[in-house]
Structure 1
């Protein structure tokens, strides 16, 4: 028992020394250590799955309003997450962790988990909590749109922008 107590005090002391020393580089221009990245990703994934299971999911609707979801995505999300045929923005290139390509990322999460992420945001990632400014219905529309991103071609995305009068509102087309 005494050895456990000594080990605990040494670990806490070492961890405190590490934190207060400022030795860990927090610059967004430098990648995290592999261990730190693993801790952050594992914590994020487990937390989202746990909390999304307990939270109310997207509102029951026959189908999300695809065009409204597109409008919200194009106004708020494309700046960080890009879109088919849209070059990664300068803001996105400077973030650490780098915002994921949602055309790939949506395949890893359930609709309920995506709803929870969009509504609540993710600490230390730059992902805001849109539940503070958007209704569940609007968030459901965004989720409905992003779940279809893997199947949207650059030409289709450009067509949606043109249709909505948003030809080159954010980012650059290829």
Structure 2
């Protein structure tokens, strides 16, 4: 028991010395150590899952909701998450970790998996994610608007450039004038 305490304290002190010395480069231009990447992913995924599991997912197939989500996504999210056919922006290139490109994801068809993913998307959009540049939109957008973005993200999976361009063309006038977030509750 005494040996375990000594070894634990030694590891803790050596870790503190290494981190305090600047050995860990916090620059966004330097990737995390593999173990750090795994630890961060595990903590992020566990945290979101624990906080999102009890959410009630509304019906997300309403075309008006998806349309509203598209407008919000186009106005707020494409600088980092891009859109089909959009070249990476300076902001997106400089992010680490890189923002996920939702249009590259395979569409989810299993309803249980879709519901779980929707809860995770909603939670991340509403609350943001520390040290990733993902802002919390909850302070400025109501839940209805965040669910609309979530609904659109499901439709964005696997979307082609032609389909996204058609949405932009269809809503061109609205996109130029409308970025109504609704009132926060």
TM-score of Structure 1 vs Structure 2, range by shorter chain: 0.7 to 0.9
TM-score normalised according to structure 1 size: 0.86
Q: Given that residues 70 and 149 in structure 2 are in contact (C-alpha distance below 8 angstroms), is that contact kept between their aligned partners in structure 1?
A: yes
* 1:133 counterpart = 2:129: no
Match of 1:172 in 2: none
Structure 1 runs (4+) deviating above 6 angstroms are none
Match of 1:78 in 2: 78
Q: Given that residues 31 and 96 in structure 1 are in contact (C-alpha distance below 8 angstroms), is that contact kept between their aligned partners in structure 2?
A: yes
Once the two structures are superposed, residues 74-131 of structure 1 have per-residue CA deviations (whole angstroms, 9 ceiling, x without a partner) of 1111110011111111100111101111121875852111111111111111111111
Q: Given that residues 120 and 128 in structure 1 are in contact (C-alpha distance below 8 angstroms), is that contact kept between their aligned partners in structure 2?
A: yes
TM-score normalised according to structure 2 size: 0.81
Match of 1:116 in 2: 123
Aligned residues: 168
Unaligned residue ranges in structure 1 (runs of 5+): 170-174
- What is the CA-CA distance between 1:152 and the residue it aligns to? 2.4
Match of 1:154 in 2: 161
Judging changes above 3 Å, is the alpha-carbon distance between structure 1 residues 28 and 37 closer, same or farther for their aligned structure 2 residues? same
Unaligned residue ranges in structure 2 (runs of 5+): 177-185
Aligned pairs for 1:1-174 within 5 A: 1-54=1-54, 56-59=55-58, 63=62, 65-103=65-103, 104=105, 107=108, 110-165=117-172
- What is the CA-CA distance between 1:164 and the residue it aligns to? 2.2
Judging changes above 3 Å, is the alpha-carbon distance between structure 1 residues 134 and 77 closer, same or farther for their aligned structure 2 residues? same
Q: Given that residues 28 and 94 in structure 1 are in contact (C-alpha distance below 8 angstroms), is that contact kept between their aligned partners in structure 2?
A: yes
* Distance in structure 2 (CA, Å) of the matches to 1:30 and 1:52: 31
